[in-house]
Every structure is written in structure tokens, then in C-alpha cells.
Structure 1
Amino acid sequence: MPLKGDFYITKVPILDNHQRIYGYYLTIKDQEDKPVSVNTLADLLVNVNIEKIAGNYPVFLKVDPEVLKHDIIDYLPESKIIFLIDPEQINEHDIEIIKELKKIGFRFAFNYSGKFESIKNIADYFFVKDSQIDPHIYPLKNKVVITDLLSSDDYRAYLNEGFRYFKGDFIFKPSTVVEKKIDPSKLIIMELFTKVRESFNPKEIEEIIKRNPDLSISLLKYVNSAAFSFRNKITSIRHAISILGQRNLLQWLLLFMYRAGEDEAYAETLLEVSAERGKTMEILAQELNLSDENVEKAFLVGILSLVDKLLGIKPEDLVRELNLDEEIVNAIVKKEGILGKLLNIVEKTEEGKIADIADTIKQLGLTLNDVMSAQLKAFAWFEEVNLV
């Protein structure tokens, strides 16, 4: 049962044909596939800053057609919002309103239905379930968001057919792993990660980083980013290491791992999601008054939860390569312990399956407001961190 009385949202990624995040599908409270009413939308605007949630991306928001006729629309950023409408719920008058709103910059997506022809010429996007793909859809491939995709194989098949936008559990679910060697550039990072975590020797760490120009540049950008706001710019590797300390260095190394390698586009997607997972878990661990060590572990669990997809190796092999302790291993591989429960919370929240974790949230003594607050802080943190 969903928890009542709390305000919460979910932000589900939509990928493009380059495996980059194109935008997010936003749901509010326990609405999931129900259209958002004027009152619920007002609740959203009171509680959160949509532009902060969206970051650099647009958000798709399924709304009741009455929203389009209400003054509340004046408070929505037209460059960020893409309204998702059920064509069965609109009439000719609504279509004229939509045409006027399009003139000022709003975009519109429609669920694929029997009323397809009446809105075909005003639609910017169509949401089409995997099971609904038919010959009428193929001429509109550039506008179609295929939803309910469950496997990476289906995703690749539609990619080969020329479709451009995708939503579904396939994005972060485990895929079939073909055993392969880890990219040498990532091996360096993993070895450095182990050295930083087990024997924090700044001089030795500095020597390794200096031998790798990409690491040196990234470290200086990271330490000088808005997330830290140091009074003076840091200009040397040694100074950066000393001022960041062990914990922040570990965070930077894991984030940088997503930047190194062949499939840069997909890595960008995994980087954003895993970074926000890690930060959300860190904040929730602090909310639970866990020890400093476990707060650090919470971040590590979140950030490492997608590295197996990035590297193409099994999670069990990954945690062995990094020589992680049993608590972290069990959280990532088995979802066990308090860290495993926190990981399950952030994963289900990403998928929009709030009802599945309501009991877990209560058991931990948290509220949905705690989870949402942590997520919003994590979104803002990621925007401030310079990882280029």
C-alpha cells in the first residue's frame, strides 16, 4: 500500500537512440499512469522546482486536459514540459487549445490509441507500448517513444529499425553478461580505488594520477566544482588530494570510472543515475544516523550498483576486483542489510514502483518525504559537480 499524506515524485529515464538520457517521465504521488489533475500539479509546484528536477532535460508529464485550460499553465516552464495526453479524453476545442499552446513553446505527446488520426498532425511524440507496434507507427518512428520494453535485446532490435526514444525496465535491469576483460583504462581506476580505500598514501596516489593526464584534469575540475565551493582555486594534484581527503577521492574515482571507456553515451546515462543513487543513499544513511563509515558505504553501494553494466561483468566479479567488504557485496548482489534496503528503495523509486517499497521505508523509520527530499538534494548535487 502506498503511504498516504506524503508528497513524492518519480523520475523515470527515457533514452534516445544513442543510449543517452533524452528526458524523464515524471509521475506524482501514487498516480503512476493516471493523468495529473490541476490540484496535484499545484501540489508539485509548491513542493519542488521542476527546472531543478529536469536539469538539462525535458520532462514528460501526463496531465488531465483540464490543466491546459487553467491559469496554472502560466507557472510551467514551456521549454521543460512535454504534456502527455490521452487522445480519447480530448475534443475539437481541446485540440485548438493545444495548437495555441504549441505556438508559445509547449510540446505534446499522446498515447497511441484508436483516435490516432485526429491528433497525428499536432503530436510531437507518441507513447506506444511494445505490444502496440503496428504498420501505422513505422512512418512516425522519429516521434515514437516505445514504452514497456523489458529487455536490452528488444531495445537493440527497435534501434536497428530506426526508432529513436525508449522507456522501460530494460534500461537498468541486468542483461546477459558475456565474459570479457576489463578495459585497461578502467583497471587503472579500480586499482587506484583499492589503494585509496585500503592504504591512503597521498604521495603514492599523486604519482599514479600524474601519470594519467585524463585523471589529473578530471580531479582538478572536480575539486574546483561548485559542489565544494573552496575559497581559492586548487591548482595542484597534491593539494587536491590533501583537501579532498579519502572519502571524496573515492567518490570522484567511482564517478570518473563512468567517464572512461568505449561506450561514452551509455556511460553518461549510467553516470547520472548511479551518482544520484549514491548521493540519495548517502543522505538517507545520514538521516538514519548511521556511522560515518556506513554513510560512505551507502554512497559506494549506490554508485557501484550499475558498474557491472558499464564494464560488462557480473556484480560478483566486480566486487571481488575492488576487494569490497561483505556488507557492500551483500547489499549490491543480494539487496541484504540496511544498505541493501536503501538500494532497493532508490531503484524502485526510479522505476516508479513506490508501492513496492512503502513497507521497507516504514521499517527503516523513514517517510516518503525523506526519500523525496534526499532525491531532490541529490539531483541538485549532481548539477553542481563538474565531471567533464
Structure 2
Amino acid sequence: MPLMGEFYITKIPVLDQHQKIYAYYLTVMNQEDKPASVNDLADILVNVNFEKLAGNYPVFLKIEPEVLKHDILDYIPEEKIVFLVSPENLSEEDLLLIKELKNLGFKFAFEYGSDFEKIESYADFIFAKSENLDSKVYLLKDRTVVTDIYSQEEYQKLMTEGFRYFKGDFIFRPSTIVEKKIDPSKLAVMELFTKVRESFNPPEIEELIKRNPDLSISLLKYVNSAAFSFRNKITSIRHAISILGQRNLLQWLLLFLYRAGDTEPYAETLLEVSAERGKTMEILAQQIKLPDELAEKAFLVGMLSMVDKLLGMPKEKLIKELNLDEEIEKAIIDKEGVLGALLNIVEKTEEGKVGEISDTIKQLGLHLNDVMSAQLKAFAWFEDVNLV
């Protein structure tokens, strides 16, 4: 069923004090950045499986208060959703309704501000901007989500002060890369990636994968996951390689590269965001009828767009190490060409800045709903991928 209306979704990780994903902050917004209305939420419920959207994580959903008075709540999975509401203009009737909904199992988060006292007793979570952290917030830091964090230094400082939940684009912002020696396991994956891309020789690839038990197990889980619909289960490395083919093997290797770095800061977050970027770009590339080779490159561009943070290697050097062509390099480094345009679209959509790329979307012959539909498919695909 096609999506209705001109709105889009942003799904931003909320991290805990261990630099792991705790939840997702989801907003259904138009270009004026309004919270989700009843109509917006109805469209989402028709088109989105929350389990596919966020897996086992809870979701913070920013809504208009009118949603709380509507029978659409009968279709909301209360164990999955935490409603985020602005306390401004909430009436006594609204507060009584919130109390009733809490008794039914719904959870609530409120934006911190001058009207906070009247909703404090109802708040499971508090959303407070990093610039507004006063003594009152410090007393409630065990249930405060600190937002608008723009640097890793600020994130580290807040963690040492005892805050537990954090939201901001500090993870994705460009940072100075201090080169470090690449872990041998990651280096092996990079070398295998290059070999698969340059000359797809299944017997040789099978031998290389078998030398690494972690790779072998991951490959079998990947090919047997719900992301694929093969009639028969795959039980051998050789069968997996032959049935996946070069393109899917390259995708798996990049996913595994992130998974192999799960001891690095934000690795889990980088894996999910990068994978969903790549898949969204691949779907959009197919929609605008780019050749298969460019659709494959679109996935690689999205996946590689943040791998420099994982490996501690400048993007230019990484591209050289993986022997990637100029078209991919220009897309990642300079946002040039059609692949660069697609990367810019997914990045700006993640940031909630669709207005900045509306012209680009039109120039590619796409609509905003095409982008959102591709994102939703990418979210579902990632939840189906088994990389444990």
C-alpha cells in the first residue's frame, strides 16, 4: 500500500552509558518539523512493522497531544512505544488521561522546560537539551535523555557525571582521525573484500573463509537469515558462496567488518546506520533505474560512508586499501555524481533536514515518499539480517 501524505521518518539511536544503542528516537515529520499527528501515525501504522523498524529496542515517538485522545491508541504496541510530549498547554484533563494510559502500560517522556513540575510525577523519561542541564535535571539524571550533543568530548563528560541516555549527532559528525594499527581480523576481511570484488573465484574464496571460523559461521547465518528466501537451508560454505554470488558476498563482508569491530566505540550504531544507508541507496538506485553495477556501488557507498570511524583510517586511504574506483571515491569524499547525490539524500534525511535536499530528490525523479519507503524497506531488511 502506498504511503499517504508528504512526511518522512527519522530514526536516531539513543545511546546508553556503555556506548550501546538503548532505544530509537523516531519522529514522523513534515518539513516544518512538527510532532506526529493522528493522521501521520495512522499512515505509519498501516505501513510500518515496529518490530522490523527497531527490533528489540524501545522507540521514543514524538506526538501531538491529540493522539492521546484518539482510539488509534488501540493499535499502538504499548510495550514498544514511549510517547514524547511537550508539557506546554497540557490541561488537567490531559494529565488525567496520561495517568490512565500509564496504568494501561503506556510510558511517557516529556521535554524539560518551565512547565516541568506539573508533569514530573508522570515522566518515565525526561528529554533535556545539553545546554539546559540545571540542578533539577541532575537530580533526575538516571531517567534523563540528554539531547543536542554535538561532540564526543561532551558525551564523555556527561557520562562521567552520571547521565545514562544520550541523543545527538556526535557519533556521525566528521572527526579528526588518529590513525591506528588495524586489527588483523579486520585487515583479513578488507583483503577478502578486495579479492571478491576484483576476481570472483568461488573455490579460492571458500578456502580463505574456511581459515576463519568466525567468518564461516557468520556467512552461514547470513545466508540462512530471513533476509533471503531460499527454499532450502544452506549447510556448506561452498553452497553459500555459489548461491549468494559476488554482490551479496560483498554486502556481507562489509556488514561483518562492522560486526568484527564491536569492541570499538559506537560500532553497533555505525553498523546499523551504515547498513541501512547502503540498502536505502541501493533501493533508490534501482527505483531510478540505474544499471545493476551502479546499484551495487550505491550500497557500497552507503556502507563505507562511516567506516573510517570504525577503523581509525582516513576515507581516502581506506578507499585506496580496498581498491575502489573513482566514482565511489568522489561520492564518499565529495558527494559528487548520482551516487553522491543519493548519499546526501540519506544523510540529510537522517538528520531531519529534508528541506535541504528537496531539489535533489526532484532532480533524480523521486518523491519524498519514495525516500521514506526505501528507508522502511531498509530498516526491515536489516532486522532480517543475521550477523550474530
Q: Quickly name the TM-score band, shorter chain normalised.
A: over 0.9
- 1:333 aligned partner: 333
- 1:228 aligned partner: 228
Q: 2: distance between equivalents of 1:349 and 1:171?
A: 16
- 1:174 aligned partner: 174
After TM superposition, give the deviation of residue 121 of structure 1 in Å: 1.9
Deviations 1:154-181 (A, max 9, x none): 1111111111111112121122211211
Aligned length: 385
- Runs of 5+ consecutive residues of structure 1 not aligned to the other structure: none
Give the alignment's Cα RMSD to 1 decimal.
Answer: 1.7
Q: 2: distance between equivalents of 1:5 and 1:85?
A: 23
Q: Which moved more, 1:296-305 or 1:44-53?
A: 44-53
Deviations 1:95-139 (A, max 9, x none): 221111112211100000112222222211111011101111112
Q: 2: distance between equivalents of 1:315 and 1:232?
A: 39
Q: 2: distance between equivalents of 1:251 and 1:144?
A: 37
After TM superposition, give the deviation of residue 182 of structure 1 in Å: 1.2
- 1:15 aligned partner: 15
TM-score, structure 2 length as denominator? 0.95
One-letter amino acid of the structure 1 residue matched with residue 129 of structure 2: K
Instruction: Give matches, 1:93-242, under 5 Å.
Output: 93-242=93-242
One-letter amino acid of the structure 2 residue matched with residue 178 of structure 1: V
- 2:366 aligned partner: 366
After TM superposition, give the deviation of residue 41 of structure 1 in Å: 2.5
Q: 2: distance between equivalents of 1:355 and 1:381?
A: 27
In structure 2, the CA distance between the partners of 1:120 and 1:7, relative to structure 1 (3 Å rule), is: closer
Q: Which moved more, 1:119-128 or 1:50-59?
A: 50-59
SS of residue matched to 2:280? helix
Q: 1: distance between equivalents of 2:360 and 2:110?
A: 35
After TM superposition, give the deviation of residue 262 of structure 1 in Å: 5.5
After TM superposition, give the deviation of residue 40 of structure 1 in Å: 3.0
In structure 2, the CA distance between the partners of 1:57 and 1:135, relative to structure 1 (3 Å rule), is: same
Instruction: Give matches, 1:47-126, under 5 Å.
Output: 47-126=47-126
SS of residue matched to 2:382? helix
After TM superposition, give the deviation of residue 264 of structure 1 in Å: 5.6
Contact 1:152–1:175 (8 Å) recurs in 2: no
TM-score, structure 1 length as denominator? 0.95
Q: Which moved more, 1:133-142 or 1:187-196?
A: 133-142
In structure 2, the CA distance between the partners of 1:274 and 1:336, relative to structure 1 (3 Å rule), is: same
- 2:352 aligned partner: 352
- 1:268 aligned partner: 268
Deviations 1:282-310 (A, max 9, x none): 01010111111111100100111111111
Q: 1: distance between equivalents of 2:33 and 2:25?
A: 11
Contact 1:216–1:237 (8 Å) recurs in 2: yes
Deviations 1:351-380 (A, max 9, x none): 111111111101111111111111111111
Q: 1: distance between equivalents of 2:32 and 2:151?
A: 21
Q: 2: distance between equivalents of 1:41 and 1:262?
A: 34
Q: 1: distance between equivalents of 2:57 and 2:95?
A: 26
SS of residue matched to 1:105? coil
Contact 2:7–2:40 (8 Å) recurs in 1: no
In structure 2, the CA distance between the partners of 1:123 and 1:23, relative to structure 1 (3 Å rule), is: same
SS of residue matched to 1:219? helix
Q: Which moved more, 1:16-25 or 1:352-361?
A: 16-25
One-letter amino acid of the structure 2 residue matched with residue 365 of structure 1: G
Contact 1:54–1:80 (8 Å) recurs in 2: no
- 1:36 aligned partner: 36
Q: 1: distance between equivalents of 2:40 and 2:378?
A: 23
SS of residue matched to 2:226? coil
After TM superposition, give the deviation of residue 42 of structure 1 in Å: 2.6
- 1:252 aligned partner: 252
Q: 2: distance between equivalents of 1:174 and 1:112?
A: 29
SS of residue matched to 2:260? coil
Q: 2: distance between equivalents of 1:288 and 1:60?
A: 33
- Runs of 5+ consecutive residues of structure 2 not aligned to the other structure: none
Q: 1: distance between equivalents of 2:224 and 2:156?
A: 39
One-letter amino acid of the structure 2 residue matched with residue 261 of structure 1: G
